[in-house]
Amino acid sequence: RNYIEHFFECLVCKINFINAYDNCAHDRCQRLIDGDTGDGDEEEPESYSTFQDWIELPLWLWETHNAVNVRLMKEHHATTASAAATTTHLDEINVEWPLRVDCPQCWNADDTWNPHVIFKYLRLIYWPDQDDIAIEYRKELDSLLLLQQEQQQHHHQKKSNNNVSKGGNLFGFTHAVLLLSFMVVVVWMYLQNVAKVKSGRHKKSDL
């Protein structure tokens, strides 16, 4: 907060960030362990004891940045000729980073994000050194992507099989109806012929 307040040159950006920070946007007050609030009321900082504690800061900054992207998109949308149309969830997705196409494993099927995967992706983007951690993270992300692709392929295959099964059932039903209709016609013609023979009308036809 102090760095943005004293060194960030964009005034509007600075005001928006400080407001977000001070108002505990994105659950900042619970997620970040903060010893110095920047308002003169200093407390002894608590220790970052777990991995989850450590990754909350980059995750919060990432989430705040995406919120800025969404807000700017909506502001731009409001000033364009299409302002009468409201923005959609898809519009928001298209300005969130990373894009789904760049890191599909970062996002869940319900468009929520996986914090641990996001953190590892951020680490590889901003600290791409080929150290042991980067190599491990890259292998994990590749494995997750492969697993996700296999699950999607299985889902599509299952859906395709269900469609084929439904189509087969419909074809079988249609075939049965046609066969039954044909049998009804045959029986009707046979009964008509029997009735004709009994009445002697076939002899008149022969004459």
Q: Could you report the per-residue pLDDT of 121-155, keeping only the tens digit for each? A: 999 999 877 889 999 999 999 999 999 888 878 87
Which residue, 79, 83, 82, 107, is CA-closest to 93? 107
Nearby residues of 56 by Cβ (< 8 Å), 6 or more positions away: 31, 32, 33
Q: What is the pLDDT of residues 32-77, one digit of tens each?
A: 875 444 444 545 445 556 777 889 999 999 999 999 999 999 988 8
pLDDT at 85 over 90: no
Which residue, 57, 71, 56, is CA-closest to 16? 71
Nearby residues of 108 by Cβ (< 8 Å), 6 or more positions away: 114
The CA distance from 126 to 57, in Å, is 14
Look up the pTM and report it. Answer: 0.67
Asked which of 15-19, 76-80, 89-93, 102-106 is least confident by mean pLDDT, the reply is 76-80
148 within 8 A of 104, measured Cβ to Cβ:
yes
The CA distance from 17 to 39, in Å, is 15
Nearby residues of 121 by Cβ (< 8 Å), 6 or more positions away: 98, 103, 106, 141
Query: What is the pLDDT at residue 68?
Result: 95
Chain centroid offset of residue 178 CA:
45
Q: What is the pLDDT of residues 171-181, one digit of tens each?
A: 667 767 777 77
Long-range Cβ pairs for the range 130-137 (8 Å, 24+): none
